[in-house]
Amino acid sequence: MEVIATKRLSESLGAEVLDIDRDRLLSDDALPGACLEALDVNGVLLFRGLHLDDATQVAFCKRLGEVVSVASHPIPEITVISLDPKNPLADYFRGAFEWHLDGSMDDIPSKASLLTAHVIDEEGGDTEFASTYAAYENLSEDDKQRCQSVRVVHTFEASQRRMHPDPTPEQLADWRARPSKEHPLVWEHETGRRSLVLGVTASHVVGMDLEEGRDLLDDLLARATAPSQVFRHVWSVGDTVIWDNRGVLHRACPYEATSPREMHRTTLVGEEAIK
């Protein structure tokens, strides 16, 4: 018998894990391996209505791998995501409205992230996911060839420009003071799979005319995130979602800054550099 039963949530990615309760998350020895395997296959896993408290969420994540400590919360592995102006990270979280992978400016992006919905927005705030493994696999052979040697510069500036299209000189200077990062467009994973490294931090293509490079990046992102390629999760309070950050782009759908929406995130430490 399979350790977990899953149900596909869209054509291209996402699966709901069925018949799991809080106790099994913590006590079933076969569960972590089965979840990681299902995550590899499906990109996104949904557990409906688990209502995980922070301690249980962190304990479950520690069974899946090493967990990032952020220390801005009484439980240092928990990041509270909200646009509440009292939240010091609120402005930063507005960047999540654009397609991105977490840690695209780091040497090693996180392996996976897990979100639990504590308060939802009545009108917006869904989360969308798109597979960058599928984005690569769906390319024509010619496009795969063309992308193979392309290198892309990722910058903080690129990620801010959409939110602040008319930056002040001070903002620009601040953005440009942050180190940029160069990644291959095609990530050759240790598993042998390939994915495209795209998203809001992708600024320009090395050695290519600026506009031509941006057109290429825009075109690839549009194809990767075409409606047929996206799984959109409409949250209910108590839902938990985990996604494979190495091969999945995500974004939050818009919601008002006054919204009480509150998600609790835990992040698994990455193990593999983009190369």
Residues that bind Fe ion (CB under 5 A): 96, 102
List residues bridging with 250 in a β-sheet.
100, 129
Q: Which residue in this structure is represented by tokens 């301690």?
A: 55
Smallest distance from Fe ion to CB 87, Å: 15
Instruction: Choose between 95 and 238: whose C-beta lies nearer to Fe ion.
Output: 95
Measured from each CB, the residue nearest to Fe ion is 102
Q: How many CA atoms lie within 13 A of 160 on its CB side?
A: 16
Residue 95 CA to residue 249 CA, distance in Å, equals: 13
Instruction: Choose between 147 and 197: whose C-beta lies nearer to Fe ion.
Output: 197
* 118 in Cβ contact with 236 (< 8 Å): no
Instruction: Choose between 102 and 157: whose C-beta lies nearer to Fe ion.
Output: 102
Smallest distance from Fe ion to CB 232, Å: 15
Smallest distance from Fe ion to CB 114, Å: 12
Which of 160, 166, 150, 171 lies closest to 214, judged by CA? 150
Helix, strand, coil percent content, the chain, rounded in steps of 5: 30, 25, 45
Instruction: Choose between 96 and 185: whose C-beta lies nearer to Fe ion.
Output: 96
Query: How far from 234 is each of 118, 179, 222, 243, 267, CA to CA, in Å?
Result: 13, 35, 22, 15, 21
Instruction: Choose between 12 and 110: whose C-beta lies nearer to Fe ion.
Output: 110
Smallest distance from Fe ion to CB 100, Å: 6
Smallest distance from Fe ion to CB 76, Å: 19
Q: Which two tokens stand for residue 74?
A: 């009484």
Residue 68 CA to residue 58 CA, distance in Å, equals: 10
Q: Which two tokens stand for residue 173?
A: 């200077």
Instruction: Choose between 83 and 96: whose C-beta lies nearer to Fe ion.
Output: 96
Q: Which two tokens stand for residue 68?
A: 């990032």
Smallest distance from Fe ion to CB 250, Å: 6
